[in-house]
Amino acid sequence: MQRIVLDPGHGGEDPGAVSGQYREKHFNLQVAGAAARYINERYSAAVHLTRITDITAGLGERAAYANELRANLFVSLHTNAGGGTGFESYVYTSAASGTQVYRDRLHDYVARFYALHGIRDRGKKKANFLVLRETNMSAVLLENLFIDNNNDLALLNRPDFIQQLSEYISEGIAQTLGLDKRIEGTGIVPARAVTTTEPDQARQFLKAKNPAAPDYIDIYVKMGGIYRIRWDAVFAQSCKETGFWKFGGLVRPEQYNFAGLGSFDGNEGASFKTPEDGIEAQFQHWHVYFHGGKLPTGRPELDARRNAALSTGWGGKLNYVEELGGKWAPAPDYGISIVRDYMAPFVDGISAVLQPGPVPEPQPEPDPGDNGGGWNPAAEIARLQKDGFVVNDHAPDSFVTWGEFATVLNRLRDQS
């Protein structure tokens, strides 16, 4: 399955370009969120976002995140400023030819959308931007319109325009990468997604079920941003596991274990010092399934069962909340129940619900460092780099032009 990292530029303390009351960071997140939703609904791909909320994230952190995931494509989404109008795209100053091919396809596809609105195509450009330079995979940055141009700003404030723009970007990505169509039945609610659920929606849902329940909703919202997992799903799981904080099972309220971590076979499970620790441990367990091994920078390891979850072979392999069935808990409809019984009542837009099916066996992806039969593209490139035949970094699946091929052959001839 191909991995795509969408990078909504700026966020948190960094607003990006500012125009009156408008902040670039909000437009970027809207476009990325809608693009991720579109791809998840139509294609089979693992979509990751460098942020799913209005959170501060460093440029190096974003690139490192994509590198850690070994993503196939990185697309950074920005809004322009500085007196101008229109759309432009960037690749790194000395981008590999494969990256340029990807960019040309994506750019041309998105440009068709802008042409429909009579918007200027400012062209295909190159720049030494950190997220383009430090990412190991093909990376493209799109500058969508100018926040300080009144006509452009009016378009950015139209939800239908943002939606269509996001669809063209997503479809452009899908065609650029040749994504397969979506596999039906895996899930409907992606866990790594931008949610528009307001904390009060969750609050009202909880109060209606248990007026005496403690209110930890702000902690869920905060952790969702840090762990890049939609908080409403994790909160819904706690409602399921604790019976809306009435408890009643083996786990006692004072353990602050709101997800039944380590509680099975008559074991009362893990205990945490504070509600925040317990909720963070819960997010760390989700993180195993939806992101993989490495925790976000600077977070303390709180979930003692992370390694056990990783050893199931499902680490970083799940995309949808429904897929937790048979993995987090043995019941095949475990994740479906979270969506159907605990999210749908307070989360907008969840209408269709999956039916439980058989749980597939884990299928570990082959190590990209060893494709079998002595075929190891990354190592072969590294060998050529070491001996000076290839100078720049190249992704093993990027394209080679005749000019580059001839250059490598001539370096070989010069040395022999």
Q: Which residues bind Zn ion (CB under 5 A)?
A: 9, 16, 78
Least distance (Å) between residue 348 CB and Zn ion: 29
Question: What DSSP string describes 143-154?
Answer: EEEETTSHHHHH
Exposure string of 75-103, with b = 16+ CB inside 10 Å and e = fewer, is bbbbbbbeeeebbbbbbbeebbebbbbbb
Across the strands, what pairs with 123? 88
- Residue 21 has which token pair? 């009351």
Task: Decide whether 143 or 322 has the Cβ nearer to Zn ion.
Answer: 143
The CB-of-81 to Zn ion minimum distance in angstroms stands at 8
The dihedral sign for the CA sequence 189, 190, 191, 192: negative
Sign of CA dihedral 260, 262, 263, 267: negative
**Shortest spacing between CB 131 and Zn ion, in angstroms:** 10
Nearest position to Zn ion, beta carbon = 78
Residue 145 or 173: the one with the smaller Cβ distance to Zn ion is 145
Residue with tokens 């509600």: 275
Is the CB of residue 347 less than 8 Å from the CB of residue 214? no
Instruction: List beta partners, residue 80.
Output: 146
* Shortest Cβ 55–Zn ion spacing (Å): 16
Burial level of 212, CB count in 10 A (0-12/13-18/19+)?
Answer: exposed
- DSSP state, residue 193: S
Closer by beta carbon to Zn ion, 18 or else 208: 18
Q: How far is the CB of 177 from Zn ion (least distance, A)?
A: 24
Q: Which is nearer to Zn ion, 27 or 109 (CB)?
A: 27
Q: Residue ranges of the alpha helices (H) in 260-401?
A: 275-290, 306-309, 334-337, 377-386
CB nearer Zn ion, residue 23 or residue 394? 23
Closer to Zn ion at the Cβ: 86 or 278? 86
User: Closer CB to Zn ion, residue 62 or residue 78?
Assistant: 78
For the bound state, the minimum distance from the C-beta of residue 95 to Zn ion, rounded and expressed in Å, comes to 19
- CB-wise, 77 or 219, nearer to Zn ion? 77
Half-sphere exposure of 333 (CA within 13 A, CB side): 8
CB of 133 to Zn ion, least distance (A): 16
DSSP state of 322: G
CB of 61 to Zn ion, least distance (A): 16
User: Which residue, 78 or 394, has its beta carbon nearer to Zn ion?
Assistant: 78
Residue 377: exposure state from Cβ atoms within 10 A (0-12, 13-18, ≥19): middle
CB 31 within 8 A of CB 144: yes
Tell me how far, at minimum, the Cβ of 15 lies from Zn ion, in Å.
10
